[in-house]
A and B are shown apart, each in its own frame.
Chain A
Amino acid sequence: MKVIIVVILTLIAQGSGIRDQVLEVSGVRYQVLEASGFGYQVSGVRYNVAGIDMDQTILSPFASGYLSSLQPFSLSLEPFAHDFHLSNVEIEYNAKAQSLQMIMHLFIDDLEDGIAQSGVDKKLYLCTEREVEGADQYIRDYISSKFSVSVDGQPMEYVFLGKETSEDIVAMDCYLEIENLNSVSEIEISNDLLMEVFDDQVNIIKLKSTLTGKKGFMMLKKGSHTDTVQL
């Protein structure tokens, strides 16, 4: 965001020579103190970002662009991170076993954040040799406070069968099951797992029934974390 603001300001400053442009965005003040030279050869922009004066004597628009990108970054933007917040639940109604089998795929560090934020103030070291005793109970409690399943309008209890670490040790699969289901036609899922930790958390649900062969998909986000499918 900040980079965009500075870019726009630079463009405005270079294009029109307007000075003393002030913009306040999320507590950071951007001010163009001086802008000179619309020409291709010389242009200068001086910013006051977050109270710090920065002077640029720029020889070309290339350098101007280059510096515009660097300043906000070095001041306030997070270093580059390919961060995304996602979980994935695969749900299958197995008609032969008369059960609803669920595999929940979660990032371990995200889950630790979620459990910590729910009031557990010790480090769990999930899926490592140092994993604390009773860690599964914490996971179970956290999941059951956030993830719920209703079958044909009836809220269901599920069993936490266990967890398994993924090959790359960054994620885990939790196995959940609802037993003794003779039939399933409508499933409602509510899953706001980790949404209290990350605003951009996306919880994907994929469902299928071996009875009807039907599939269903959900993409749950903050503010819309409940959905229903017919299987």
Chain B
Amino acid sequence: MGEFELYFKLGLEHIADIKAYDHMVFLLALCALYQLKSWKKVAVLATAFTIGHSLTLALTALDMISISPDLVETLIPITIIITALSNIIKPDENLQSATFSKFMWKYYAIAMIFGLIHGMGFSTYFASLLGQEENIVFPLFAFNVGIEAGQLIIVLGILILSYVVMDFLKMKQIQWIHFVSGLAAGIAATILIG
């Protein structure tokens, strides 16, 4: 096994690990507004999230910033709750943004900013992978590519589920958005309360 493959797999398995479900729940809240046909936007959104968390993961791994894990564990569910609530506030505006690209930059920016917080959540795990490794740039790159790949798989799954629910179970889009947002908010609240 090569070095890239090792860190790629570790990143992929970490994001897809059911025990690290806070990131999955965030993606669920983030994707709630979109339908399968706008998968390209969701891919960009997930990538913006990756750019955010890659940045803080790199800074933490290089010891340039250090934030208490407890604070991060608190902030992560807050990002989920904010995303979930913003989905159901002004639903018309949200849907419009999901339809028309010119409003999208705001959503990309938020995904990236929240990514900064989630990146710090990956750092404990990443640090234990590294051990005494000195050259961290390549492992970091491969690990992030793995996380991004895992995220794309998760968001694709969410979009397919939303397609099934809306097209076969005939749930209205607004209902789907509300249900999923409520679900995400509930899980985040449970994490927050502990």
Question: Chain A interface (Cβ within 8 Å of chain B)?
Answer: 1, 3, 7, 10-12, 14-16, 40, 60-70, 73-74, 79-84, 86, 88, 90, 103, 105, 107, 171, 173, 200, 202, 204, 206, 215-219, 227
Q: A67 touching B186 by the CB < 8 A rule?
A: yes
Q: A79 touching B6 by the CB < 8 A rule?
A: no
- Besides A65-B180, A66-B183, A69-B182, 10 more A-B contacts (Cβ < 8 Å) are A7-B183, A12-B169, A65-B179, A70-B186, A80-B191, A88-B128, A105-B132, A217-B1, A219-B6, A219-B9
- Is the CB of B153 closer than 8 A to any CB of chain A? no
Within 8 A of A (CB), among B156-194: 165, 169-172, 174-176, 178-187, 189-191, 194
Contacts of B64 in A (CB 8 A): none
Known: A82-B20, A86-B128, A103-B131. A73 touches B165 (CB 8 A): no
Nearest A residue to B2, CB-CB: A217
Closest chain-B Cβ to A102's Cβ sits at a distance in Å of 11
**CA separation between A70 and B185, bound complex, in Å?**
10
**CA separation between A121 and B13, bound complex, in Å?**
34
- Is the CB of B92 closer than 8 A to any CB of chain A? no
Q: A3 touching B187 by the CB < 8 A rule?
A: yes
Closest chain-A Cβ to B37's Cβ sits at a distance in Å of 21
Q: A40 touching B187 by the CB < 8 A rule?
A: no
- Is the CB of B96 closer than 8 A to any CB of chain A? no
Known: A16-B169, A66-B183, A73-B187. A84 touches B125 (CB 8 A): yes
Q: B174 touching A84 by the CB < 8 A rule?
A: no
Q: A66 touching B20 by the CB < 8 A rule?
A: no
Contacts of B17 in A (CB 8 A): 84, 200
Query: Which of A3, A11, A40, A219 is the one whose CB lies under 8 Å from B165?
Result: A11
Q: B20 touching A61 by the CB < 8 A rule?
A: no
**CA separation between A11 and B18, bound complex, in Å?**
21
A-B contacts at CB below 8 angstroms, number: 133
Closest chain-A Cβ to B92's Cβ sits at a distance in Å of 14
**CA separation between A60 and B179, bound complex, in Å?**
8
Contacts of A206 in B (CB 8 A): 6, 131, 133
**CA separation between A217 and B20, bound complex, in Å?**
25
- Is the CB of B53 closer than 8 A to any CB of chain A? no
Query: Which of B22, B133, B181 is the one whose CB lies under 8 Å from A90?
Result: B133
The B interface, classified by DSSP as helix, strand, loop or mixed, is helix
Nearest A residue to B170, CB-CB: A15
Contacts of A11 in B (CB 8 A): 165, 169, 171, 179
Within 8 A of A (CB), among B1-37: 1-3, 5-6, 9-10, 13-14, 17-20, 22
Query: Which of A69, A90, A171, A219 is the one whose CB lies under 8 Å from B186?
Result: A69
Contacts of A16 in B (CB 8 A): 169
26 A-B pairs within 8 Å (CB atoms) are namely A11-B171, A14-B171, A15-B165, A15-B171, A40-B175, A62-B88, A62-B182, A65-B182, A66-B189, A68-B182, A68-B186, A70-B186, A70-B189, A73-B186, A80-B22, A81-B19, A82-B125, A83-B19, A84-B14, A84-B17, A88-B130, A90-B131, A204-B6, A204-B10, A204-B129, A217-B1
Closest chain-B Cβ to A42's Cβ sits at a distance in Å of 12
8 smallest beta-carbon distances between A and B, as pairs? A65-B182, A69-B186, A15-B169, A65-B183, A62-B182, A61-B179, A66-B182, A66-B186
